[in-house]
Structure 1
Amino acid sequence: MFGYRVPAPNEALLISGKKQRGDDALQFKIVTGHGVFVIPIFSRASRLTLAMQEAEVVEDCFTQQGLTLGVQAVIAFKVGDDHESIAAAARRFQGDQSQMPTLVGRIFSGHLRSIIGSMTVEAIIREQQTLGEAILDASKAEMGKIGLAVDSLQISSIDDKGAGYIAALAAPHQAAVNQAAKIAQAAADQASAKAQQESARNQAEYSRQTAVARAQFQAEIDQAEQKASQAGPLAAAQAQQAVLAEQALVAQRNAELREAQLIAEIVKPAEAEAAATRTLARAQADATKMSAEAAAAEGRIALDQLVIKQLPEMLRAAAEGLQGANLTVLDGADGLSGVVASLAGQGLALLDSVRNGLAGQVADPAPASTTNGSTPDWTEPEQRALTN
């Protein structure tokens, strides 16, 4: 948007050209973190970096013993976040912000020479952290005046410029270290030799135990082979016996199956045929009996029919017999009833006699001779009965 300016997160926007209210000393406005309208012609906006920067210091310094040491250090710094620091840095570096590292290097070089001059080489080498803190404390006030803040200071190297002093200081320690290293190496060699000897003993013991185990294993194999060779015939005989026993079982099973087959094929059909024959004979006997009974019944029926046919003739003959008879009835009607009853009783007796005679003839189916071809020959009792 025309006239609207927004600073980056690591920048401060400086707006000048218009008098700021509330602060006569500050002739420009500082904007961070948000945008602002800048009126062209009447106002001007510039930017001041708030990013982290580095300054390197390489300086020859004299120690308390008068020895020259070459010291290298790296300082990490930036413009302070408060408006006072931003205003102080803007007044000094707004025209050329690249001058910040140069000025910081010069400030720390002076404080570095001053502090190293009050210390011995041994102290400098041994207490580098203390040296760095002392330099920061000495430069804090001066850095604050120009609006800069130091985040860290690291001493990267210290050199005695070839004098050998530092090497001489390190020699006893190096010798002690070398001696300790030699002792440690000797102890390590001794331990290694001992370990090799122990390993050799262990290897020999392992070889011995392996040989013993192999011998025992071979003996067990030989014994097993011997037992196997001896057990071969016995095992074959046992196997043969098992085969024979199995064959006997199979033969028995086959016999049982054959027996069941014979029963199913011969015995069962014979039994069924005999049962059928018996059933048929019984049925024929029953039929014969029923035929005989039917014939007897038919004979009785024929006899009764014959008697019935002869009964009128018999009654007629009886009447003719009584026609010329001289009967005297003494008791009147009662006497007449008795005569009639007597005649009826004789008639019934005569009827039974005739029936029995005819029944015998029916039972004996032999043909009877006839005199005239139609009337049968009666026996004497039958003729007597019929004529009386």
Structure 2
Amino acid sequence: MFGYRVPAPDEAMLISGGRRGMGTAPFRVVTGHGAFVLPIFRKTRFLTLAMCEAEVDETCVTKQGIALTVRAVIAFKVGNDKESIINAGQRFLSDQDQMAVLTGRIFAGHLRSIIGSMTVEEIVTERQKLATEVLETSKTEMGTIGLSVDSLQIQSIDDGQTGYIAAMAAPHKAAIQRQAQIAQAMATQQSAEAQQAAARNQAEYQRQTAVVQAQYSAEVERAQAEAAQAGPLAQAQAQQEVLLAQTELAQRAAELRQQQLVAEIVKPAEAEAERIRVLATAEANRMKIQAEAAASYDRVALDRMLIDQLPLIVKEAANGLAGANVNVLNGADGLSEIAAGLVSQGLTILDSVRANLGTPQSTGDDKHQQRGGGAPNRREGGPIEIE
């Protein structure tokens, strides 16, 4: 926006040209925010608040008269308060690089003053004490010009060609070397003792290892011997178990085969035989029934035929006696006997035919007597003679 100015975070904006609100300061200080600045009537300048650095490389004389070259680095900046900004702005606003130059000169003077009151031994061994005293003595003067010091680091202290610091360090070096030699000797001794202990430990380890190996070898040999002894027995037992298993398997296979044969051959054969027997029995019964029926029919038919032919047979028998010279000695009784004999002969012929055809013969005492004689018996009245 026209006329509105904002300083950077590490800057202070100094506005000059007006008297209102400035008090005794020649300008108004603005930090952290912006402000309207009237063109032509106001003038704006910026003062850095960032960290700055100054180096010191100064030759100083100690309390002992020995010249030392001291190198140091000072980190400083403009103070954050308004008074420090005003003081620094009035002194360095036109040439802000002069802050580092002036700071280096201030610290160089205080450094010469303080080193002049100290010995080389104090300076070398107590560098932090030296830096603290220089900071304390320069704080007031740095605050007057609006600067604050953050740190002072002494980088090096050199005595040039005098060799004082080296000579001062010689006893310490000798002591250090002596201590180093002693430490080396002790380390060598300890190393030798450690080596001896290691050798003893190695020997003991080898002995124990040999014992363990011997025990292990003995255990292995014993186990091998037991295994060698137990091997044939275990093998025989294993073979016996295999044979038992094979026998049981064979028995099971035989039983299974037997069941299979019974199911495949015996049962079908028995069923077929039973079927044939039933059919044969039925056929025999049928034939028997048919035979009995036929025999019964033939017997009835034959008997009927013979009965029908019986008069003819008797007639023919009588015709045969027609030309015969028959003497009847007993009168009427003899004629009756002749007629009875003819009938008896006809019955005999009937029985013979039945016998030849399988027909059962007549039973009874009269028929048996008639088949035995072939002619009627004569009665007591008198014999019948036929010529």
TM range (shorter): 0.5 to 0.7
Q: Which residue of 1 aligns with 2:252?
A: 253
The within-5 A match list for 1:112-261 is 112-228=111-227, 233-261=232-260
Q: Would the aligned equivalents of 2:21 and 2:28 in 1 still touch at CA under 8 Å?
A: no
1:220 deviation in Å?
A: 4.2
Partner of 1:9: 9
Residues 207 and 280 (structure 1 numbering): CA distance in 2 closer, same or farther, change over 3 Å? same
In the alignment, the residues of structure 2 paired with residue 26 and residue 207 of structure 1 have an alpha-carbon distance, to the nearest angstrom, of 93
Q: 1:296: which partner in 2?
A: none
Per the alignment, do residues 100 and 260 of structure 1 end up closer, same or farther by CA in structure 2, a change over 3 Å counting? same
Letter in 1 for 2:14: L
Structure 1 residues 247 and 23: CA distance shift in structure 2, 3 A? closer
- SS of the aligned residue for 1:47 comes to strand
Structure 1 residues 91 and 280: alpha-carbon distance in aligned structure 2, compared to 1, 3 A threshold: same
CA contact (8 A) 1:20 1:26 kept: no
User: For the Cα contact (< 8 Å) 2:22–2:28, is it kept in 1?
Assistant: no
Q: Retained in 1: the 8 A contact 2:63–2:117?
A: yes
Aligned-partner residue type, residue 5 of structure 1: R
TM normalised by structure 1 equals 0.66
Alpha carbons of structure 1 residues 252 and 9: separation in structure 2 relative to 1, 3 Å: same
* Alignment correspondent of 1:89: 88
Q: Give structure 2 stretches of 5+ with no counterpart.
A: 287-298, 309-387
1:278 & 1:159 partners in 2: Cα distance? Answer: 143
What does the per-residue CA deviation read over 1:109-146, in whole Å, with 9 as the maximum and x for residues that have no partner?
Answer: 11111122222222223332222222222112211111
Q: Note the C-alpha offset of 1:175.
A: 2.5
Equivalents in 2 of 1:220, 1:52: separation in Å?
83
Contact 2:87 2:146 in 1 (8 A): yes
Distance verdict in 2 for CA 1:84–1:244, change over 3 Å = closer
1:259-307 CA distance string (max 9 Å, x none): 32343245434654676689889999999xxxxxxxxxxxxxxxxxxxx
Provide the alpha-carbon RMSD of the alignment.
3.6
Query: How many Å separate the matches in 1 of 2:150 and 2:235?
Result: 100
Q: Which amino acid aligns with 2:60?
A: C
Do residues 64 (structure 1) and 77 (structure 2) align? no
Do 1:85 and 1:144's aligned partners in 2 also have CA atoms closer than 8 Å?
yes
Give the counterpart letter for 2:4 in structure 1.
Answer: Y
| 256 and 143 in structure 1: CA distance in 2 versus 1, 3 angstrom threshold | same
Shift of 1:185: 1.4
C-alpha contact 1:13 1:46 (8 A) present in aligned 2: yes
Q: How many Å separate the matches in 2 of 1:56 and 1:89?
A: 20
Relative to structure 1, the CA distance from residue 182 to residue 273 in structure 2 (aligned partners, 3 Å threshold; closer, same or farther) is same
2:84 & 2:97 partners in 1: Cα distance?
Answer: 17
Q: Return the TM-score normalized by structure 2.
A: 0.66
List gaps (5 residues or longer) in structure 1. 288-364, 373-388
Q: Is the 8 A contact 2:57 2:70 kept in 1?
A: yes
1:143 and 1:239 mapped to 2: Cα distance? 107
1:349: which partner in 2? none
Q: Percent identity?
A: 62
Q: What is the DSSP-based 3-state SS (H/G/I as helix, E as strand, rest coil) of the residue aligned with 2:165?
A: helix
Deviations 1:65-123 (A, max 9, x none): 22222222211111111221111111111221111111111111111111222222222
Deviation at 1:223, TM superposition (A): 4.5
Count the aligned residue pairs: 303
Change (3 A) 1:266 1:106: closer
Q: Residue type of the partner of 1:4? A: Y
Q: CA deviation at 1:227?
A: 4.9
2:222, 2:102 → 1: CA distance?
100
SS of the equivalent of 1:203 reads helix
